[in-house]
Amino acid sequence: MANSLADQELLAAAARGDQAAFSQLYQRYRNRVYGFAYRMLGTQESAEDVTHEAFLLLIRQPERYQAERGSLLTFLCAVARNHIYQHLRHQERYAPEPVETSDEYEEAGVRYSFDPLNDLLERELAAVVEAALAKLPVAQREAVTLREYQELSYEEIATVIGEDTNVVKARLYRARQALAKRLAPYLNQETAPRA
Amino acid sequence: MNCQEINSQLGALLDRELEPAQASMMRSHLGQCIECQGELERLRALKTAMQSVESPAVSSRLDERVMAAFQLQHGRAGAISKVFSWRIWFHNSFAIPKPALALIGALLIGTATLAYKAGEITGMRLQVVTPPAPVYGQYAQPQAIEPVRVVYVKTSGGCSRPNSRPSAIHAQNRSGKPAGAQAAVSQFETQTYASEAGIDYTTRATLENFEPVKDAGVRVIKGGNQ
Same domain? B165 vs B216: yes
Enter the ipTM: 0.75
Answer whether residue B80 is part of any domain.
no
CA nearest neighbour of A129 among A110, A112, A149, A115: A149
Mean of pLDDT values over B59-86? 73
Same domain? B157 vs B215: yes
**Residues B198/B156/B226/B148 CA torsion (nearest 10 deg):** -10
Q: Do A34 and B53 touch (CB under 8 A)?
A: no
Residue A185: strand, helix, or coil:
helix
**Residue A57 amino acid letter:** L
* Ranges A68-77, B43-52, B91-100, B199-208: which has the least confidence: B199-208
The 8-class DSSP code of residue B56 comes to P
pLDDT in the model for residue B118:
72
Same domain? B119 vs B152: no
Number of domains in chain B: 3
pLDDT in the model for residue A158:
95
Answer whether residue B108 is part of any domain.
yes
- In chain A, which residues have their Cβ closer than 8 Å to the Cβ of B69? 52, 55-56, 59
Mean of pLDDT values over B155-168? 40
| Rg of chain B (C-alpha set) | 46
pLDDT per residue of chain A (195 residues) written in tens, 0 to 9 = 456 558 889 999 999 989 999 999 999 999 999 999 999 998 899 999 999 999 999 999 998 998 888 899 999 999 999 999 998 888 765 554 544 444 433 433 333 445 555 555 545 678 888 889 999 999 999 999 999 998 999 999 999 999 999 999 999 999 999 999 998 888 765 444 443
Q: Does B51 touch chain A (CB under 8 A)?
A: yes
Q: How confident is the model at residue B219 (pLDDT cuts 50, 70, 90)?
A: very low
* Ranges A80-84, B67-71, B204-208: which has the least confidence: B204-208
The 8-class DSSP code of residue B131 comes to P
Answer whether residue B54 is part of any domain.
no
Same domain? B153 vs B211: yes
pLDDT over 80 at B157, yes or no: no
Q: How confident is the model at residue B158 (pLDDT cuts 50, 70, 90)?
A: very low
pLDDT in the model for residue B132:
60
Residue B117 belongs to what domain range?
95-124
Q: Does B60 touch chain A (CB under 8 A)?
A: no
One-character DSSP codes across B106-126: HHHHHHHHHHHHHHHHTTPPE
Answer whether residue B207 is part of any domain.
yes
Same domain? B130 vs B199: yes
| % of chain B exceeding 90 in pLDDT | 22
- In chain B, which residues have their Cβ closer than 8 Å to the Cβ of A133? 50, 53
One-character DSSP codes across B139-153: SPPPPPPPP-EEEEE
Answer whether residue B57 is part of any domain.
no
Same domain? B212 vs B130: yes
What is the Cα–Cα distance from B155 to B39, expressed in whole angstroms?
A: 111
pLDDT in the model for residue B13:
92
Best of A11, A24, A26 to disrupt the B interface (most B CBs within 10 Å) is A26
Same domain? B164 vs B203: yes
Best of B4, B53, B73 to disrupt the A interface (most A CBs within 10 Å) is B53
pLDDT in the model for residue B183:
43
Answer whether residue B157 is part of any domain.
yes
Domains in chain A, CATH or no CATH each: 2-91 (1.10.1740.10), 101-191 (1.10.10.10)
Q: How confident is the model at residue B84 (pLDDT cuts 50, 70, 90)?
A: very low
Same domain? B130 vs B118: no
Same domain? B130 vs B114: no
Spatial strand order of the sheet with B126-129 comes to: B126-129, B219-222, B149-154, B167-172
pLDDT in the model for residue B40:
92
Same domain? B180 vs B165: yes
pLDDT over 80 at B159, yes or no: no
Q: Do A191 and B71 touch (CB under 8 A)?
A: no
Best of B62, B72, B80 to disrupt the A interface (most A CBs within 10 Å) is B62
Answer whether residue B58 is part of any domain.
no
Same domain? B115 vs B169: no
Mean of pLDDT values over B3-32? 91
| % of chain B exceeding 70 in pLDDT | 42
Same domain? B160 vs B175: yes
pLDDT over 90 at B83, yes or no: no
* CB A50 within 8 Å of CB A77: no
Q: Do B11 and A176 touch (CB under 8 A)?
A: yes
Mean of pLDDT values over B55-80? 81
* Range with the largest mean pLDDT of A148-162, B122-136, B201-215: A148-162
pLDDT in the model for residue B53:
82
Answer whether residue B173 is part of any domain.
yes
* Ranges A74-83, A164-173, B31-40, B137-146: which has the least confidence: B137-146
